[in-house]
Amino acid sequence: MSGRQVEQSTGSEDTAPTLIDCDIHQKWKDPEEVIAYLPDQYKDRGVQSPSILYDNVAEFSRRDAIPDDGSPAGSSIEKMKEHHFEEFGVDYAVLTGNSYLNLTALPNRDYAAELAVANNKWVIDNWLSEGGPFVGSLLAAPQKPERMAEMIRELGDHPRVVQVVMPMASQHPYGHEYYWPMYEAAEEMGLPIAMHPYTEGHGVTRPPTGAGHPNTYFEWHTLLGTYAMGQLVSLVAEGVLAKFPDLNFVVIEGGLSWVPHFLWRMDKDWKALRAQVPYLQKPPSEYVRDQVRFTTQPIEEPDNPEHLLQILEMMHAEETVMFASDYPHWDTDSPVYALPPMSDEMEQAVMAGNAQELYGLPNDPTSLPTN
């Protein structure tokens, strides 16, 4: 059993953070909060997006995370602080937004883009303004890349905005040059781009697995890593990582045990098929190691935890892996019990160090301005 000590200290000027949670989902109590930020022509439409067709028998949000007033899990800052941050000693909470928006599932890209912008303004005004452990993400509707580039430049200089988040599912693989204006803007603003699942198979996205539409949420959830693989190989092979060397990507909620397999396979194929991707100046795995980070949740749980540790070592977790709980969703990973015992150095990097470096976070969260 993992016996990780939970340090209750929050970061200060002198001590580095010990726990940065890279996937925290905040939600509005009432959609009207976000609708207020929509352009007038969309106010009647409100917040409308194709919802998930795969029923989760375990439910999507944790019942124990529901605030006392019965509002949605993740909608109360006080509840979140007491229930998760104080309980585990979370120094920074990276807000990744409301994945239920399913932005890339929307066929109307103009509306999708404005819904993203409205959501982000709401996050800045209602969550990042709280300060404390909160840093946040700009949700993006990448089917409207020029508008997203404009948004990234406009909102991306907020001191507590630390990344852009795209749905993991898209109409084209993310290496496609159609999306590059958005990448250019993110690189310019020094913001990593994360990909987070939920939209796979919904609305106008592609089937959620290579084999097509599965029957159950069980299958859908098991194969999330394969969707991440599809996006990642595209980002490498189309030259996005080579063309934007200062741009980082984050794969959230795809698990990670597939990563060594993926990197080895890519390098092997590159040795044979390099002529199709001649702009890669080093083996593909090195681009991933240098520019891509993976969050831990939902962590795989082999019968022998030592096997998971071996996989972490294979993927250079001391550089590439960042802890995420996915609070308050049903498959939250505990900061204490989810990961196998590991060396102090790797543990520090995974639980906080890699995220602190990627997002450029100061030791003292209170030193970050709120506007």
Partner 1 sequence: MEKRFEICSTDELPPGERTIVELNGHSIGVFNVNGEYHALKNDCPHQRAPLCMGKVTGTTSATDPEKVEWEDDGQILRCPWHGWEFDIATGESVFNPHKVRARSFDTAVESTSDDTSEESATDGGCDCGAVEGDQPPVDTYEVDVEDQQVVVYL
Closest CA to 348 of 17, 12, 14, 2: 17
**Least distance in Å: CB of 86 to partner 1?**
47
**Least distance in Å: CB of 264 to partner 1?**
14
Of 214 and 239, which has the nearer Cβ to partner 1? 239
**Least distance in Å: CB of 280 to partner 1?**
8
Could you say whether residue 281 binds partner 1 (CB under 8 A)? Answer: yes
Could you say whether residue 343 binds partner 1 (CB under 8 A)? Answer: no
Could you say whether residue 274 binds partner 1 (CB under 8 A)? Answer: yes
Residues 6+ apart with CB under 8 A from 337: 1, 2, 4
**Least distance in Å: CB of 262 to partner 1?**
18
Q: Return the residues of window 252-271 that contact partner 1 according to CB under 8 A.
A: 270-271
Could you say whether residue 246 binds partner 1 (CB under 8 A)? Answer: no
**Least distance in Å: CB of 240 to partner 1?**
8
Of 60 and 180, which has the nearer Cβ to partner 1? 180
Query: Could you give the CA distance from residue 152 to residue 370 in angstroms, rounded to a whole number?
Result: 18
Report the SS3 class of residue 145.
helix
Could you say whether residue 243 binds partner 1 (CB under 8 A)? Answer: yes
Query: Candidates 48-56, 92-100, 156-164, 272-280 — which segment interacts with partner 1 by CB under 8 A?
Result: 272-280
For the chain, first and last CA: distance in Å? 42
CB of 138 closer than 8 Å to CB of 190: no
Query: Candidates 116-124, 207-215, 277-285, 294-302 — which segment interacts with partner 1 by CB under 8 A?
Result: 277-285
**Least distance in Å: CB of 284 to partner 1?**
11
* Prior bond of 298 cis (ω within 30°): yes
Element (H, E) at 293: strand 292-295
Could you say whether residue 238 binds partner 1 (CB under 8 A)? Answer: yes
**Least distance in Å: CB of 267 to partner 1?**
9
Could you say whether residue 36 binds partner 1 (CB under 8 A)? Answer: no
Could you say whether residue 86 binds partner 1 (CB under 8 A)? Answer: no
User: Quick one: residue 326, left, alpha or beta (phi over 0 = left, psi -120 to 50 = alpha)?
Assistant: left
Could you say whether residue 15 binds partner 1 (CB under 8 A)? Answer: no
**Least distance in Å: CB of 238 to partner 1?**
6
Question: Which residues in 241-250 are b (16+ Cβ under 10 Å) and which e?
Answer: bbebeebbbb
Could you say whether residue 282 binds partner 1 (CB under 8 A)? Answer: yes
Query: Candidates 63-71, 99-107, 194-202, 281-289 — which segment interacts with partner 1 by CB under 8 A?
Result: 281-289
Write 39-43 long-range contacts (CB < 8 A, 24+): 39/114, 39/118, 42/111, 42/114, 42/115
Query: Could you give the CA distance from residue 365 to residue 368 in angstroms, rounded to a whole number?
Result: 6
Quote the tokens at residue 283. Answer: 């083996």
Query: Could you give the CA distance from residue 336 to residue 340 in angstroms, rounded to a whole number?
Result: 10
Strands 134-139 and 20-24: unpaired
- For 213, phi then psi, to 5°, come to -85, 115
CB of 23 closer than 8 Å to CB of 324: yes
Quote the tokens at residue 56. Answer: 């989760």
* Options 242, 299, 315, 342; binder of partner 1; rule CB under 8 A: 242
**Least distance in Å: CB of 235 to partner 1?**
11
Of 9 and 276, which has the nearer Cβ to partner 1? 276
Q: Return the residues of window 158-217 that contact partner 1 according to CB under 8 A.
A: 177
> Which stretches of the chain bind partner 1, using CB under 8 A?
177, 238-240, 242-243, 270-276, 278-283
